[in-house]
Amino acid sequence: MIKNCSAAVSLPGGLVLRQARPADLDQIGALLSARGEPDDAVDHRLVVTDPDAGLSACAVVVDGDRVVSTATLLDEEVHIGGIRLPAGQVELVATESEYEGRGLVRALMNWAHERSAASGHLVQAMIGIPYFYRLFGYEYAIDVPQVLKVNSLPPAGGRSTLRAARPSDIGAMAALQAAAQSGFDVTMPHSAACWRWLLDHESSNLLVLDHDGTVIATARTTPPGGETLLAEAEAAARDEAAARDLLSGSAALAPGDPIRIAHRAGTVTGNAWQEFLDHEPRRTAERYYLRIPDVAALLDALRPLFWQRLTAAGIDRTADEELFQALFPPLTADVLSYYLPYQ
């Protein structure tokens, strides 16, 4: 285990794991772009230059002066039953191909988990390579909304205007998302830093529906061309009329292109769009990863929730099966993450 997450650690073969430095940024960006997506370099710059994250959020493995592997840990928050649980999210993981198979990702995950623990995180959540991160204690736990085809569109609305979001819209967008997530048992909202990154990233396509100067709906879309994806896990609306205007307005961004949305069942947008969707059976069990590093610490943090559930159930505490069902009922969940899980 890496006991001091800020200290340099010697690895086999003369490699060193340490915190990223300003001089590393160009190499990190090149590595992320080469091994992932071109925009990953932009994402990384947004994180390490943000006051809520900074360079301490990123670690690298170096061979001399050469950056050969990297990972970044983001601060998040998971909400359950009114309790806020500090959480971490590992992102932007990449290794030079010639250095694969040498345990560098495992070393970086150890660093991330040590840093996460030092930050007081009680859980980690992430999107990642299918099954790979189970090697590091993660399990599939929260369903990703199913992506469905739009068969027809509602008629265009009245005076509402769909436009790019601005920094001044963050409060309204956050309020709409909070309302959308209020019907779920477990949620992960966007952090303040994440809202800034989404707005600063020119290809994030964060949109709002403006009605006489008031933001009444919001969504993220993939760039037009080929297939437009209205990311309904990122869509929220004041009412069903606004939701329908949001759908028709988003479709107008790429006329003639097929439209698919990630269906967030039970929300205002989910209810408003039911009649326009092809409800295909779910073919794959796509889920977010979760990791609980210290079960006892998590249970202790959730003690008020357990007491509330126990008293509400009004059952004999010796009835084991009923007690377990009262304390650990099935839960619904909704996650907002920087990366869309269905791109």
Question: From the CB of residue 125, how many other CB atoms can be counted at a distance below 10 Å?
Answer: 22
Q: Are 103 and 140 in contact (CB under 8 A)?
A: no
pLDDT in tens, 239-289: 999 999 999 998 888 787 788 888 888 999 999 999 999 877 666 658 899
Q: What is the mean pLDDT of the chain?
A: 90
Band (pLDDT 50/70/90 cuts) for residue 2 is very low
Find out if CATH 3.40.630.30 is the number for domain 9-140.
Answer: yes
* pLDDT tens, residue by residue, 67-79: 999 999 999 999 9
CA distance 326 to 321: 9
168-196 pLDDT per residue, tens? 999 999 999 999 999 999 999 999 999 99
Q: Distance between alpha carbon 285 and the CA centroid of its chain, in Å?
A: 17
Q: What is the pLDDT of residue 329?
A: 92
pTM flag (> 0.75): yes
Question: In CATH terms, is domain 146-282 a member of 2.40.30.10?
Answer: no
For the chain, give every domain's residue range: 9-140, 146-282
Residues across the chain: 343
115 Cα distance to chain centroid: 19
pLDDT exceeds cutoff 70 at 318: no
How far apart, in Å, do the first and last CA atoms of the chain sit?
Answer: 34
Same fold? 9-140, 146-282: yes
Listed residue (202, 256, 264, 204) closest to 228, CA to CA = 256
Looking at the predicted structure, is the pLDDT value of residue 103 above 80?
A: yes
List beta partners, residue 143. Answer: 287
Any idea what the Cα angle at residue 204 is, between residues 198 and 209, rounded to 5°?
A: 85
pLDDT at 227 over 80: no
Nearest to 203 by CA among 28, 38, 30, 36: 38
Distance CA 313, CA 17 (A): 50
